[in-house]
A and B are shown apart, each in its own frame.
Chain A
Amino acid sequence: MTAPMLEVRNLYKYFPIRQSLTDLLRRKPADYVKAVDGVSFTLERGEVLAVVGESGCGKTTIARTLIGLEEQTDGEILFHNETVGAHERRARAGLVPLESGGVGTREQQVLPRMSMKRLRQQAQMIFQDPYESLNPRATILEIVAEPLVVHGLARGREERIARVKTALEEAGLRPAEDYFLRYPHELSGGQRQRVVIASAMVLQPELLIADEPVSMLDVSIRAEILNLLRDLRQKRGVSIVFITHDLSTVAYFADRLAVMYLGRIVETGPAREVLANPQHPYTRALISVIPVPNPRQRRERVILQGETPNPIDLPTGCRFHPRCPIATAECGKIDPPWHAVSPTHQAACLRIEQGTP
């Protein structure tokens, strides 16, 4: 079996909290925000994985770590069987050699490494807010051509313009020439997000990481952007990690779904299967609050009270138990192991084990 395109093994990302001087003097142990706390998943070529959860569940931190914007605390990110991520900054500081094995954990010694620049030719990110992720003083042509310049691709002017044109037209901005000399402020939100997508796709990456790509857009425009991402996946075979808090958009084009709560994946499986037969009480609650666009179908909603607790003092046992509608005393003590619902569908909840989910 060939290795998956992207494999994440036991990823941890802790952010240290600044301590006050008195705490330092008292030798109080440092606190950490445990944003990502042991997450593993794989992604095949052409596959779309949706990572779903509320604010603060760690989904954006995963995205940022995948693309090297954050350095993971522990764990492995393998892209085509080469490790990426953590070592880059150390390599730049001359602490470890860049594109080879070196000091580090056992795994890292065995596996070849990939530099961040090489990774980013193949993996690109689409950020949430198209109003803030474009340089306001650059024209669309400059914005979309910049990745080519950075990576030293398409050196000739003609070739560069041709690639920008293709990327813009594939992103639905036709005719592309009309957009070349415009500035971001002259475009609507939907058009800006298309420019963001074009400048990610101009490098023809294999992986797109889309962090809430439609949440800032109007509903009618959302549909266009989601359809565009779906087309790109079909035509270009690009894999997508789709990060969202909105399960209703997931059903449209994700193959697999990973539901996150407080830094952990609590349920994962084929998107349709998880949506049709959710096992974890958190997944069930998330599905129940999706607004149904028909007043005749107002459903019984499981509205969880309170908000996601802060990931500094994590609850004992199952992290979800303080908000869980079906928690038992045991849930506060035992960290639930994975339970296989089907060969591809797993959920971490004690109540499933007990047969009374």
Chain B
Amino acid sequence: MSEALLSVRNLTTEFLLPDGKVARALEDVSFDVLPGQTVGLVGESGCGKTTTLMSVMRLLPASGRITSGRALFQGRDLLQFSEPQMRAVRWKEMAIVFQGAMNALNPVMKVGDQIREAIELHNLMDREAAEKRVGELLEMVGIQRARRDQYPHQYSGGMRQRAMIAMALACSPDLLFADEPTTALDVMIQAQVLQLLKEIQKELGLAIVMVTHDLGVVAEVCDSVVVMYGGKVAEYGTADAIYNNPQHPYTRRLLASFPDLNRPGDTLASIPGTPPRLTDLPTGCRFHPRCDVKVEACETVSPPMLETEPGHYAACHLCQGREARFS
């Protein structure tokens, strides 16, 4: 798909562990981000959501390496970029709101100065103009300009998250990655932050890739959803298809484990077992040890990604469809 802002194709990332073992954190991950759209990356802890972001941003720790795949951003493969080339793209064209924003700000630097630093590092404007921009950014995320000179500890959790968003928007990127932007926030503040992201998206025409384990958040804001399990994509499609016509047993169980106010009193369907360790991945389908509908093939053969309906993909032996071809 040429109109995509970001096309991730067959991304495979490995980590070298201290004991010499190799952990395959991502395998064959493919998805598209269209301009102005929100894509949700969903899954349990350790399924590779954050690694996907870090691979595309080329911010993996030294032990991580991308072994194959492409990440086409506006037609250019980010994975082939040198570090200086990457630096020119990072923050100016794609920015990230890191996980745990509560602790991601520098505690001994005024919030306004931290935002200005992001602008100045990219040589976008002189100090006076940068200062003006800081004020605009703070206002955009709903923080009074007067609080520019305060330190992070004087901000509440929700305000710190807003400040992180302001910082990510400092250089007007086209693509925003948000890693668990609402986790650890109260429900009301969570709603405020989601509302803010939606407003900013509408105003600036941003594309957002949101990493979360909260299916409710995804349902509220995402246009399409990538469900990940054990480093692979289990299912990928529009939010409507994922929620109303889920194909992969993992997606179905994940949805069933989410409490729904409209049907209180049901027993919550939990998913027994734990996600696989990346050093010790099961053979065949990675979900088979926890799957309640597995067949014999699941234990030995890794299921191919199938297109079950146009634009809706699932990797499960029980699904019907033709083998997916990502252009």
- Residues on A with C-beta less than 8 A from B195 are 301, 303
How far does the alpha carbon of A251 sit from the alpha carbon of B271 in the complex, in Å?
Answer: 20
- Binary interface encoding of chain A residues 246-267 relative to chain B, with 1 for a CB under 8 A from any of its CBs, else 0: 1111011000000000000000
Interchain nearest-CB distance for A240 vs B (Å)? 16
Please, which residue of chain B has its CB at the minimum distance from the CB of A216?
Answer: B184
Chain A CB within 10 A, most for which of B188, B189, B264, B271? B188
Residue A222, interface by CB 8 Å: yes
- The residues in A between 140 and 161 inclusive whose CB is less than 8 angstroms from any CB of B are none
Residue B259, interface by CB 8 Å: yes
How far does the alpha carbon of A285 sit from the alpha carbon of B261 in the complex, in Å?
Answer: 14
B261 A275 Cβ-Cβ under 8 A: yes
The contact size tier of chain B is 35 or more
- The residues in A between 286 and 319 inclusive whose CB is less than 8 angstroms from any CB of B are 286-287, 289-296, 298, 301, 303-305, 307
- Residues on A with C-beta less than 8 A from B274 are 188, 190-191
- Residues on B with C-beta less than 8 A from A304 are 188
- Residues on A with C-beta less than 8 A from B261 are 247-248, 251, 275, 287, 290, 292
- Binary interface encoding of chain B residues 187-213 relative to chain A, with 1 for a CB under 8 A from any of its CBs, else 0: 111111001000000000000000001
Residue A181, interface by CB 8 Å: no
Interchain nearest-CB distance for A344 vs B (Å)? 17
- Binary interface encoding of chain B residues 141-159 relative to chain A, with 1 for a CB under 8 A from any of its CBs, else 0: 0000000000000001110
- Binary interface encoding of chain B residues 271-284 relative to chain A, with 1 for a CB under 8 A from any of its CBs, else 0: 11010000000000
How far does the alpha carbon of A219 sit from the alpha carbon of B274 in the complex, in Å?
Answer: 12
Query: In the complex, which of the residues B189, B220, B259 contacts A248, with contact meaning CB atoms closer than 8 Å?
Result: B259
How far does the alpha carbon of A245 sit from the alpha carbon of B213 in the complex, in Å?
Answer: 17
A291 B217 Cβ-Cβ under 8 A: yes
- The residues in A between 262 and 284 inclusive whose CB is less than 8 angstroms from any CB of B are 271-272, 275
- Residues on B with C-beta less than 8 A from A340 are none
- Residues on B with C-beta less than 8 A from A248 are 216, 259-261
A247 B187 Cβ-Cβ under 8 A: yes
B254 A219 Cβ-Cβ under 8 A: yes
How far does the alpha carbon of A191 sit from the alpha carbon of B222 in the complex, in Å?
Answer: 31
- Residues on B with C-beta less than 8 A from A327 are none
Identify the stretch in B52-60, B82-90, B237-245 within 8 Å (CB) of chain A at 4 or more residues: B237-245
The contact size tier of chain A is 35 or more
Query: In the complex, which of the residues A189, A275, A286, A289 contacts B264, with contact meaning CB atoms closer than 8 Å?
Result: A275
Residue B219, interface by CB 8 Å: yes
- Residues on B with C-beta less than 8 A from A272 are 264-265
A189 B45 Cβ-Cβ under 8 A: yes
- Residues on A with C-beta less than 8 A from B217 are 291
- Residues on A with C-beta less than 8 A from B272 are 224
* Contact status of A227 and B244, CB under 8 A, knowing A219-B257, A248-B259, A251-B259: no
- Residues on A with C-beta less than 8 A from B267 are 227, 230
Residue B253, interface by CB 8 Å: yes
Interchain nearest-CB distance for A307 vs B (Å)? 6
Residue A54, interface by CB 8 Å: yes
* Contact status of A252 and B191, CB under 8 A, knowing A189-B45, A218-B44, A291-B216: no
Interchain nearest-CB distance for B221 vs A (Å)? 9
Residue B269, interface by CB 8 Å: yes
Please, which residue of chain B has its CB at the minimum distance from the CB of A52?
Answer: B187
Residue A19, interface by CB 8 Å: no
Residue B326, interface by CB 8 Å: no
B271 A220 Cβ-Cβ under 8 A: yes
How far does the alpha carbon of A298 sit from the alpha carbon of B195 in the complex, in Å?
Answer: 13
A294 B214 Cβ-Cβ under 8 A: no
Query: In the complex, which of the residues B188, B264, B270 contacts A223, with contact meaning CB atoms closer than 8 Å?
Result: B270
* Contact status of A246 and B187, CB under 8 A, knowing A223-B257, A307-B158: yes
B219 A245 Cβ-Cβ under 8 A: no
A293 B186 Cβ-Cβ under 8 A: no
How far does the alpha carbon of A305 sit from the alpha carbon of B192 in the complex, in Å?
Answer: 7
Residue B301, interface by CB 8 Å: no
* Contact status of A295 and B240, CB under 8 A, knowing A247-B187, A252-B265, A301-B191: yes
Please, which residue of chain B has its CB at the minimum distance from the CB of A215?
Answer: B184
* Contact status of A292 and B216, CB under 8 A, knowing A55-B186, A227-B270: yes
Residue A226, interface by CB 8 Å: yes
- The residues in A between 205 and 243 inclusive whose CB is less than 8 angstroms from any CB of B are 218-224, 226-227, 230
* Contact status of A298 and B187, CB under 8 A, knowing A220-B270, A272-B264: no
Query: In the complex, which of the residues A189, A218, A230, A289 contacts B187, with contact meaning CB atoms closer than 8 Å?
Result: A289
Interchain nearest-CB distance for A187 vs B (Å)? 10
A219 B213 Cβ-Cβ under 8 A: yes
How far does the alpha carbon of A290 sit from the alpha carbon of B259 in the complex, in Å?
Answer: 10
Interchain nearest-CB distance for A96 vs B (Å)? 39
A54 B188 Cβ-Cβ under 8 A: yes
Given contacts A220-B253, A247-B261, A249-B259, 6 further A-B contacts (CB under 8 A): A55-B186, A218-B45, A245-B186, A251-B259, A294-B244, A307-B158
Interface residues of chain A, those whose CB is within 8 Å of chain B, are 54-55, 188-191, 218-224, 226-227, 230, 245-249, 251-252, 271-272, 275, 285-287, 289-296, 298, 301, 303-305, 307
Q: Which 5 A-B pairs have the closest CB atoms?
A: A291-B216, A251-B264, A223-B268, A224-B270, A289-B191
Q: Can you name 21 A-B pairs with beta carbons within 8 Å? A: A191-B274, A219-B44, A219-B257, A219-B258, A221-B44, A222-B257, A223-B269, A251-B259, A251-B264, A275-B264, A285-B188, A286-B187, A291-B217, A293-B243, A293-B260, A294-B219, A294-B243, A295-B219, A295-B243, A298-B220, A303-B188
